[in-house]
Structure 1
Amino acid sequence: MSIWSNKTVLHGKVLFSEVNDLFGLHLSDDYVDMIGGWIQSENMDIAMGDEAVVENYCFKILELEGYHVKSLEGIKMLLGQDR
């Protein structure tokens, strides 16, 4: 995990609880417990560069291995910012 002022690079296997603690989010899912699996469950035809927005963060796919999310970037969106 690498943290910059408004961007954080995460491994796809980071747990929801860690993402929630780090970003102050409330992610949950009955079927997956890692951020990579959640992103994939939001878009089954996932591709490099795809994004998922939750609350005030945008999660962008940086690296895939097959259909598994290897790494992604969490970007804090500023008020009024579109993705």
Structure 2
Amino acid sequence: MLQREVLAELGLTAWAPHVPGSEPPPPPDPRVLAMLAKTVGMSPQALADVGIVLPGLERLREASVKRALWPRLRGLRTHP
């Protein structure tokens, strides 16, 4: 619970599988998901399945948010 509250305060959305009887998590911004998936060479659905916490589009303008996100995305890049 605390982790989700902290992430919400930071403007981030934690992805988690839906547990029956619980409130479903909010969907990620499809624009952000598509852009980031293209960057790492994955389909948007594959990126969503990985479970990385993605910031909203407006949050990607913040340097600290980008610095925290890019190392995780680099680790997902597919190499030919």
TM-score relative to the length of structure 2: 0.27
More helix by share: 2
Pick the structure with greater CA Rg.
2
TM-score relative to the length of structure 1: 0.26
